[in-house]
Structure 1
Amino acid sequence: MNIHLIEKQKFTDKFIELIDYNYPDSSNIVYEYETGAGFECKKASCAKSITRLSDIDFSLLGEDDKFFVHAFYTTKTIRFIYRNIHRFKKYQLVLICWGADIYDARFALENHKFDFKLRFHEYLKRRIIKCCDIFMTFACADYEIITKYYGGHGKQFDCLYPSNANLELLDKLKNDYELEIGNSFRNNTFKILLGNSATKTNLHIQALDAMAKFSDEDIEIICPLSYGDKEYGKKVVDYGKSVFKEKFKPILDYMSTDDYSRLLNSVDVAVFNHNRQQGTGNIEILAYLGKKLYIRSDTTTWKHYVIRDGCKFFDAKLIEKMSFNDFISMKKDDVSINEEYFRKIWDINYVKSLWDKVMEYRG
């Protein structure tokens, strides 16, 4: 039996449903643990809620079975996996990289070189990664980070979780938006989405500086800051207000998935100035809805979506050199390419095919 270790997040219910409905032969068990974020654990035949990682029953693993670790950035997870590293000489270890696990600590050490606790955890992480058989990544080029900085040499597979997006709602929203544009019901204010969270990797200040020349245009800058670092979020609000005054609209409260989809549909342009792979769920929905999307060309996200898969995104690093008209305009053919791509990868059969490849891999 394969074992999955996953922290409870807003998107994990869909993954548990995928396992429960598509692998009903008791070949997988999902251990789900609380992180204090307030999400309830999913009730399913394949899922078990735990409060301690020591409650995991390794005896369930048989020969050629796999132990899936969905994200490995918390101290608790890193230390638990390291203490049990001897077990993975017999079973396959699969690390699913969410982003923070291979970026955040490295970035932090660039500014705090003498943080010995952080260095120790990075040491443990390297030992774990070097023993790992399989890596699943949301951006294919994240594997380059794994090999370059952590010495990983296992097999790489693409990873997707089933989307939380309500496709029926998105199609309705998209059609309503197109009707508004076609019938001139919409006001002329251009709405710009900036980032997805109150985390420093969004590089909000840099993006606000690049767009400062548009401050006299008829715009609104909508900035989701409802989760992440509250202190950092306050700095972003203060700076955004100082540059754009009342045109800067921070989102400080959590929203339901459907309400957030409505918010995303209301914007015209999205600027994701992240310096690492992040916010892919937002990227998918925005691109599907036909929004012009900016991400940085020096990220693994760009390599995955633009260079490898041919999505029509734009380089956030070039915004400061653009006119306002160039900044907001987008060809209809580019919109269609993005919509078709994300409709394909959201198909549950496509998502399942990615997991099938990993489940069946023997190395």
Structure 2
Amino acid sequence: MDAFEDLQQFQLDMDKIVCPLSYGDTTYRNQIMLKGNKIFGDRFISLNDFMPYPDYVQQLLSCSYFFMNSLRQLGLGNILLLLYLGSKVILDKSNPVYRFFIKNEIRVFSIEEAKSGNLEIIDLDKTRFNLIRVWGKNAIRSKTNQLIGLIK
């Protein structure tokens, strides 16, 4: 819920806030829905039920920004997908995923940058190249072979 405080301070144009809530504790989900609706009104859209993956991706395609307010690695699949699609991903600098992406030249933004509103244009070709370099089929095959070599 503390993400709402940060969202209110972001200097970004957000016509809607999509909040996936189809997992986790139901009581907490209801609290998030109530608070989100109270603060953001009709702009707050909660995704409460699991949906077919293509429908979920369609929802994500409408997001120019993706904010993951966590100090832990969460939602990596969503983050990777949104980076590949060209969304500006905003993470806490303390999150190890933030540091990993920066180290691998994959542009993500900090909460502080979102609050200032200074988010430069992303080089989508470079982002996709680096995502494939780290997580593409050849990269995974190579890492798997290295692991097998260590086990032998």
Same fold, TM exceeding 0.5?
yes
1:332 to 1:289, Cα distance in 2 relative to 1, 3 A: same
RMSD between aligned alpha carbons? 2.1
Aligned to 1:354: 143
Alignment of 1:251-290 (within 5 A): 251-290=47-86
The structure with the largest helix share of the pair is: 2
Q: Does the Cα contact within 8 Å between 2:72 and 2:95 map onto a contact in 1?
A: yes
* Percent of paired sites with the same residue: 25
Q: Does the Cα contact within 8 Å between 1:296 and 1:315 map onto a contact in 2?
A: yes
Question: Structure 1: 5+ residue runs without aligned partners?
Answer: 1-204
Q: For 1:211 and 1:304, how far apart are their aligned partners in 2?
A: 23
Q: Does the Cα contact within 8 Å between 1:273 and 1:295 map onto a contact in 2?
A: yes
1:316 to 1:214, Cα distance in 2 relative to 1, 3 A: closer
Q: For 1:214 and 1:352, how far apart are their aligned partners in 2?
A: 40
- Relative contact order higher in (CA < 8 Å, ≥ 6 apart): 2
Shift of 1:322: 1.9
Q: Does the Cα contact within 8 Å between 2:107 and 2:122 map onto a contact in 1?
A: no
Q: Does the Cα contact within 8 Å between 1:222 and 1:248 map onto a contact in 2?
A: yes
CA-to-partner distance for each residue in 1:113-166, whole Å, 9 max, x for gaps?
A: xxxxxxxxxxxxxxxxxxxxxxxxxxxxxxxxxxxxxxxxxxxxxxxxxxxxxx
Match for residue 344 of structure 1 among 133, 138, 141: 133
Using the size of structure 1 for normalisation, the TM-score is 0.39
Alignment of 1:7-156 (within 5 A): none
Secondary structure at 2:16 match in 1: strand
Q: Which amino acid aligns with 1:341?
A: N
Q: Which amino acid aligns with 2:106?
A: C
1:322 maps to 2:111: no
Q: For 1:214 and 1:309, how far apart are their aligned partners in 2?
A: 26
Shift of 1:214: 6.3
Shift of 1:262: 1.7
Q: For 1:218 and 1:285, how far apart are their aligned partners in 2?
A: 20
Using the size of structure 2 for normalisation, the TM-score is 0.88
> Would you say how many aligned residue pairs link Structure 1 and Structure 2?
151
Question: Structure 2: 5+ residue runs without aligned partners?
Answer: none
Larger Rg: 1
